[in-house]
Amino acid sequence: MTDTGQKPIPDTNDDERVRIAVGDVIQVDPEKSHFGAVLCVVSEVKAWGVQCYFLAPGALGEGAPVTLIATNQAFLRVPHADYVRIGRAEWVIP
């Protein structure tokens, strides 16, 4: 587990998204994504949105719109307008 620290970036969206940082937990908007209501841990913050991961219970199958790695982490890219910030993760997977 790794402590990532706060790394906020400027953004023109609402104040919660301005403060988004690596290690934050977000929830995906169910009206804007196939993965709606999923809780994700932010692994990268970009100008367009975030890359985040969630723990998948197993293989997602051929053609799934996420990347599955050996540790069953599924990575997802989410535009800033398509999530809300929930809080900070106590521990993150490096």
CATH of the domain at 53: 2.30.30
In this predicted structure, what is the pLDDT of residue 39?
92
In a domain, 36, yes or no: yes
Domain range holding 45? 15-88
In this predicted structure, what is the pLDDT of residue 35?
84
In a domain, 6, yes or no: no
In a domain, 63, yes or no: yes
Query: Do 83 and 28 contact (CB within 8 A), yes or no?
Result: yes
pLDDT averages per 10-residue partition of the chain, 94 residues: 43 57 94 88 94 75 59 86 93 78
How far, CA to CA in Å, does 38 sit from each of 6, 7, 11, 19, 30?
Answer: 22, 23, 23, 20, 8
The domain total for the chain is 1
In this predicted structure, what is the pLDDT of residue 10?
39
Q: How many angstroms separate the CA atoms of 59 and 88, rounded?
A: 27
In this predicted structure, what is the pLDDT of residue 76?
93
In a domain, 10, yes or no: no
